[in-house]
Amino acid sequence: MGDREMLHELRQQAHNAGIEGNSKMTEDQLRDALRRVGKGEPAQMAKQQAKR
C-alpha cells in the first residue's frame, strides 16, 4: 500500500472513530489518536493529545 493510500485509510479510520477535523493531522498523530480512542479516551480529547 502506498503512503497516500495508508494516510487515506488512517483518515477514514479516524473519521469512523469520531475524530473530526483530522485532515491536517500527520500519520503519527492519526495513529496516536486512534490508539488513544481504542483505549477508551474520548475522540476529541485523543485528537488534542495527539497533536501535542
CA–CA distance, 52 with 43 (Å, rounded to integer): 15
Q: Is 52 exposed, middle or buried (0-12, 13-18, 19+ CB in 10 A)?
A: exposed
What pTM did the predictor assign? Answer: 0.89
Q: What is the pLDDT of residues 11-46, one digit of tens each?
A: 999 999 999 999 899 999 999 999 999 999 999 999
